[in-house]
Amino acid sequence: MKVYNSISKKSEEFKPVEDELVLYVCGLTPYDKAHIGHARTYVAFDILKRYLMKKGWKITHIQNITDVDDKIIRRCMETGADPKKLTEENHREALELFDKLCILRADFYPKVTEHIPDIISTIQKILKNGYAYETKTGVYFDVSKFKGYGKLSGQNMEEIEAGSRKEVDETKNDPADFALWKTAKGEIIEFDSPWGKGRPGWHIECSAMSIRYAKRTIDIHGGARDLIFPHHENEIAQSEAANGFQFVKYWMHTGFLTVNGEKMSKSLGNFITIADVLNKHEPNAVRMFFALAHYRSPIDYNEEQIEAAGESAERLLNGLGLIRECISEKKVQKKNDGFRKNTDTLIEKMNSAMENDFDTPTAIANLFNLVRESNAHMNEKNKDYEQLGKIGAEIEKMLWILGISERKADASRKIDALKQILSELGEGKTPETAEKMMERAIELRNDARKKKDFTKSDSIRKKLGEIGIILEDKEGKTSWKME
């Protein structure tokens, strides 16, 4: 398997440090609602994680919570909110939304506020090793002392120094030096330290907390592309300066997400939260939309494309359902060499795409071809049920990796309307659940069809359709789904 390593700028053979993988993905700064940019990154790394799990890897997944930050302090000063309550509520809501998106939870969600001793200890190591210095405004990392600074972002020191001059601090030795600890007096968030009251700089938290849980070189460190500099660059410098060993083996970054071609911003009126998206679209549609682009590619948010992606996901699920129905027939098995050769080739191409830096667009293209080949074969008189079973298992595996889930239709929101329909059909006592009500409505329709009372059967279909429930008749069976 090959992955693109942001630090080497090339695809490399994936060789983990140990048998158990450590995956660290930069988490939220929960001063506001989680947005679609977060969703894009976390869905991408969820697909990566799911694929590695299917390959048999045991994974320790760490995702930090930045609950101490300038943005949090500003928001609380503007609104009067309590920082602990603000960050906890926003992160809890974000996790619930990630659950709806079928994003597997991390093993650890370390908070900055709960790891101040780890952070202080890491800063002390950096100072002891000669890579930092103290001033009246805090403790700063001495960039000039760390050989190879800029190797992840590819920037040279002249560019870095020029970019840092907008935040001039006369106490620093060099404009490019960054804060490990910021001294403070009377701020709404501050902690005791050997350097006086204050709080950690932004970057040091990931270094301290990742090593606290990983205890060694991290196999994969992920995040959005805009974190490469300065955040991830600084993580490398301070982590290796403190610990003396390689911080991360493979750096992986997701491409930019834009809205109407522009960076998302409240001032531009194009800030879209995950809740906004899920109020309009099914989770399968959102995940498929992201998966249809390579994780490193830029992507522009598009409502029509999300809708189309949802329809694509539904076609794949329907294809899997047809295969399951077909192989349940248990009729005479007939081997078909041509069908086996064609579909085995598609399975190989699909899996090879995932082995090549998680190329989901190519994998999905072959997945659709696999479904089309199977659909055509199932229309033939003699069917290769054994091969269809193999194909079904491969499709099911790939859908799980993509996080495309088979959700049973939920008619509970329609329970009052279903009661009314059954009452109009003469049912005195209606079942207690919406599921049972649907079963009864289908029974009544089937009875009417047997008696050739097509006026009644068509009326039941129409009444259900008016409340958003669609009936589908196939091979003598009736199923239903929500519109």
pLDDT at 389: 96
Q: Kindly list the domain boundaries of the chain, sorted by start residue.
A: 15-280, 306-402, 412-482
Q: What is the DSSP string of 44-79?
A: HHHHHHHHHHHTT-EEEEE--B--S-HHHHHHHHHH
Burial class (CB in 10 A: 0-12, 13-18, 19+), 297: exposed
Q: How many helices (H) and strands (E) does the chain have?
A: 16, 15
Phi/psi for 435 (5° steps) reads: -60, -45
The residue behind tokens 């008619």 is: 411
Residue count (the chain): 483
Taking a C-beta distance cutoff of 8 angstroms, is the pair 241, 122 a contact?
A: no
45: tokens are 């790394």
Q: Which residues of the chain have pLDDT under 50?
A: 166
Burial class (CB in 10 A: 0-12, 13-18, 19+), 129: middle
Taking a C-beta distance cutoff of 8 angstroms, is the pair 321, 296 a contact?
A: no
Closest C-alpha to 195, from 141, 142, 147, 134: 134
187: tokens are 């701020």
Taking a C-beta distance cutoff of 8 angstroms, is the pair 352, 335 a contact?
A: no
Handedness of CA 282, 257, 207, 91 (dihedral sign): negative
State how far the Cα of 33 lies from the Cα of 270, in Å rounded to an integer.
Answer: 14
235: tokens are 């993580």
State how far the Cα of 26 lies from the Cα of 6, in Å rounded to an integer.
Answer: 15
Q: Which residues, 6 or more positions from 253, have their beta carbon under 8 angstroms from its beta carbon?
A: 6, 222, 223, 224, 225, 227, 228, 296
Alpha-helix runs per DSSP H in 153-269: 157-164, 204-214, 233-243
Q: Which residues pair with 470 in a beta bridge?
A: 481
DSSP strand pairing (2-5 vs 10-13): antiparallel
Alpha-helix runs per DSSP H in 145-299: 157-164, 204-214, 233-243, 274-280, 283-291
State how far the Cα of 266 lies from the Cα of 282, in Å rounded to an integer.
Answer: 24
State how far the Cα of 280 lies from the Cα of 101, in Å rounded to an integer.
Answer: 13
Would you give the distance in Å from CA 437 to the centre of its chain?
A: 36
At 72, the amino acid letter reads I
Residue 282, CA distances (Å) to 286, 289, 305, 311, 464 in order: 7, 11, 13, 10, 21
Handedness of CA 52, 53, 59, 64 (dihedral sign): positive
Q: What is the pLDDT of residues 161-190, one digit of tens each?
A: 665 554 567 789 999 999 999 999 888 999
State how far the Cα of 340 lies from the Cα of 387, in Å rounded to an integer.
Answer: 6
Q: What is the pTM of this model?
A: 0.86
State how far the Cα of 323 lies from the Cα of 330, in Å rounded to an integer.
Answer: 12
Element holding 5 (H helix, E strand): strand 2-5
70: tokens are 């300038």
175: tokens are 């404009």
Looking at CATH, the fold of the domain delimited by 15-280 is given as Rossmann fold (3.40.50)
36: tokens are 């679609």
**Terminal Cα-to-Cα distance of the chain (whole angstroms):** 41
List own/partner pairs for 362-369 with CB under 8 A and 24 or more apart: 363/398, 364/288, 364/291, 364/292, 364/312, 364/402, 367/316, 367/395, 367/398, 368/312, 368/315, 368/316
Alpha-helix runs per DSSP H in 215-259: 233-243
pLDDT at 31: 96
